[in-house]
Structure 1
């Protein structure tokens, strides 16, 4: 077949932070400061020859060793060994090559962070100039996401490195300006302000940043703050540089004073909450398919994408949903039904995705009622194994719901519009480009010979994108002829029209071939990873890997090896989230079969790890809570699946303990529906031991209190409280405290005070000062309604002054809420604003995202303080927060009247713009600090 072309594994260089190297997405070890300096010097000049003299000067400066040339050769050899561990003696070096009297690092711009950053920044600038703000935002975010710290962090300042760092820092600041501008152009002023504020502090002399801050504040309805921004800029420039603001700032200020209509910018983009998977891959050859399916969408209708396994139904559905989401007031939502095992799971998964409370015997009916009046696009993916249940759900949905379903078969509904998705033409450019992208060579221009080989590979796979992607990833390690030989083993598989049986068999053969090429330890790890559901982290992989130190230490290398062999996918990186991996569905199926054929106990290790993870979560409100919550979120799929398993064990006591330990996280991170489902399953078990049943019933009752289902909650409490009060178990006291605090949230104040008194006494009896303080704080709150509110305020302030309270976030939140309510009674909104601001600060520190109660209270304080726009923004944020938690809005008497009064007091357009702003603040998540806006 002519010359054998080998596609090497992708080596990526991270130099925007500590200098590190990744091999197919997994980090490799690089030790030695001088080796890192050599690499840095080569990276700065990637693609160019760097002389030995320049490298010697970069490493040693004027402190040369006696044999500098030989010392440099040693460093180069060590670097090469790290970058090309699989090189044979007969092959030459291919990453760091000798060239004349020097060395050249062969790396594409996209594989060097600093170069990819500069390129993305330039492309973002071009996109904004072309009016493509959405693309500009994506490129600017991608560019800035590459930074992990100061450029070349850890290397000393040297004459050759200082200007490089300075230039990169300047480009980074400029890219920040592009990011902010894109947000402004897209009608997202709140996010723009949140993004630009730290940039102004870092670069106070960049006038464009001041202008963007002022414009963002102005467009968000904070004109006074916008004008104050000009004064701040003037002071900084005058005091630090002795200059006046430039003409651009002056003109902008004058326009704001004149209320120039052009300053309003684009129409406020409605909040479109979507649950579409992040980091979607590029689609090849599917633009016509996306357009055709989009044309089938209509309210009250169901469009379906059908076709064989691996044809790309999910990818096309995601692209259609992303394009259609802005045209649906309540967004597009993606429900993955691969985890559905029974008919009842379909509606439950849909409700969980939509964050709507829907339980009881008729989940489908409840969900349909909750969706009345909502304009959403609901994507139901992978329906083939639950067709009847999906059809029943679709028939029950209101006429405002648009449905897009995917599966190997249609739903066979009268109003269904089916679109059959065909495989890609195997000889077409789209299939070739898709293969090269999967091979890590998206910019390569293949020769005619390469195209012929790739076309033959795609033909052997029936043109199925999943098979093409898997084959392309294998081409990172093996040459094209080797890949072609492997896929030709079953020439009858994965052909158009032979969708289910042959497609599955051929892909299984592909996976078996890949696994057979692995090292024995990699094969074992492959099977063990099948016990992890959805995206998983390195910590989860270590948990199932084995108990010995050697097994634990090998995990990073094993994950790198499996990634290199296309048996693992590295998920798109998210800020603040550890690296996540995923086994593609057919690969995970093969891995599960491998594990089942062994006597490995990886599943038991996973269950043990989840138990340990839950027990390690600090008591709610203690330091370390935010970190623990983030750790749970990173592996939430595996944790949830494991708890479901534990609940079916012969002895579910452990599961009940785990759930009670995690219910605080579920509340604070808007996952109450998940916890409620766990507890409902638990209390249905007839074989629970008495204490476990009491814990489960009381905890479920607490969730019912939050939902104001008071009668049902009290029925559970009546059965469980006697045993909890008698028990000396600390968990029982913790649940008593939960009952007291959730009764307060559910406006069941008298009952909350009664239980708080019991909880305080029990906490004192078994020496639990932390719980005692929370109970005492709840009793203090109850004094608001049993005596002069001012007395409750004084008691709250006294408790807040105690050192122990500062380490008890739950007590602080309760006491701040008490002081805030006291401010309402006293008619002192300025005090209420101070206390609600403190509540938001505490919640931010603890990683609490469910703050609807505080936001509603703060909105009323703002209204009383004569700040109608800020109050409306805060009320909108509260309403959005409640909706996400499946709670009713408003929660408190009088709020609806206040909102109506405010609505009547402002122009309709300003009301809509402000309400949308408040909703956007919640939709932005951690991207916008609540305290900065409300």
Structure 2
């Protein structure tokens, strides 16, 4: 019975025999297979093969190499072939070779069959059927054609033509979908294609139209603007006729709100006196904040009436974030909706001079503005507030209360009846108003890079910004999205019109993150002064925490780490962080996670260097590093109980590690702290904490490896090894050489990997460390598996197993047995593989090592699948899924779901196959888009 073959070239060049993926060999041999697939069913001459593989300068041995590749591919497809036997699939034909396969075996042929049928359906007047066929054809693509082969070969016209086929089909599908009002059916494929062809105007124009047709007009116009910018930046051209026509079409279809007439019975009575108009001038160069403005505008009915309750917009944020500017701009935008006037007061709640405007003074000012002479204003705040609210009854007035100190500061200024809108700005979050008065909070964030650029364009002019794009980028980066910083820089440029932007960028570069570059002559224009207004009102403990947070490398910090910095209990640290957040010196971007703006970090760094000794700062850093090391160690013991970890020294006083109940919590902690840990390790190296550096690298190896952070793994292991060398710790050096071997292999650097293995084996032998030798042989076996050196891999895993048994390490013994089983599976010996997997399971405590048990069960399911025992395979996969779900490892869960689907498909249960693969797709769409595309293609073929 002939084997079933399947090939893909619409994405990676891959091959399967009887459902098992094959290794097409080195990149050049894979390229030859790709060429045969492109020409599938047709003869490819020897001359064309040589031309595609080597171009104009082929080696003298090119023909011999081609013959060797042919032989290797034949035996790959039909392992039972004799050395010179041709076989069934790869045939010598007309002076060349032909891969004798059809549309059912090759995705490219399936794609062409579907697109041709789609075009026939269009001609015959069946547009819906044509669209379905085209989208099905496009679903077969998993990225650019023929990936995984040498770049210079892939650039050959024979492969480049495939991408043009896809481009044409995407445009045809988009046109069909737009004509049928079915844009949503092509948006995914159209978006992916547009991302790969960012300067292709026909594709980009169709994407813009499809987004608009799907009801995403704002995104469509943003996409159009992004394309326009790319064309200008990279080609120096403006959008062509097709893109301009797309923009005009969208703009002409925008629906403008119709005017709403007010009936006579609901007419608003005329104001009793001339309406107050107290708003400060709007900022002529206001930029950005569209989303924030939209949030507030959404609170208002279209006719401007506030029906039942007073709506309060509480705009909060740190100093310099642009609260007042936004409030005034908003007020000018909506002032016409409030015919009875606009009231404004700057309460100066955080003024450095301390001259706060008290509530009584503000009420009296408003009462006078509403037409009451000063001598008619009663004494006492309560009486004044009562008169103020009586005057506002039945009126529609906009009230802006700027720079409030807290909720009590503004309560007397709130109206008592419907009809008015109050907009409040404060560095305090005004929780009291949110709870008691139903205020709608709006916490301002930093400006995006695009908004920052728009700000500079408005202030300095588009020509000046366009003339120095690199300097502008640097200025934007250094100002870090803080409007006040951008305003200070723009003011300096305006004051010195002959000073080039490159010089301004240079000043910021020299400042190197300090606040010196942002110092102005007036306190309101001095970022340091603005920040100090918030800092000076902190309690002493909160002020100390704010200063010492400068030793934390970021990007964010949790409560336990903050507690470690100042050596206090977590509960006390939480209260201090809440105080800092309330002052907008920190932001709680997610529950329990705090961030600090770069300029605020610079301010904290200045303060700690001015007020805290070097010894205090180093002690804070030591406590911080102790916290992360001890927590990582505790997590690692749960996450990988068989893996050997280092012994930790005693922690500094005041430091506690986080506690985890199980491996699920340990994994969640690592995922939450991943970026922080990278920064911490880097800082331990820079600050000379070498012991912390190598201990963290050693401790975190399994997390980085199992979660696929292989670039980070390589970086961390290199840093750790260098630190271990400086510290003179031979055992650490041995373990980190072993870790670097695995990291190097993950990156495809097998020569480096083998060199590190040799170093680790030498050091462990000198140290007479049998456990370390066992782990190294175990890692070596895995590396040899990756290279296809299976017999050597069996030998290495066997040595590891013997050493584990000799040392009585039962948990690690299960890992070695699993390794032996997997190598047998790679050799196709699934019967022996199951024996080893069963032994590995017996040696693994599922309660303590759910990850190891899950991996072994998944492998056992794979072996049973290939033995035809589908019921047993399904049982193994289901148990592996339960364990991965218990841990919370979504990526491993998705991999098992893919394989489970293959087994259900082999049983003929297409419905369950579809369900399982959809579950995998839901995970992979976010975690691994290429793998998601593969599953999506499987579902498409499933029908």
Higher Cα Rg, which structure: 2
TM-score (norm 1): 0.44
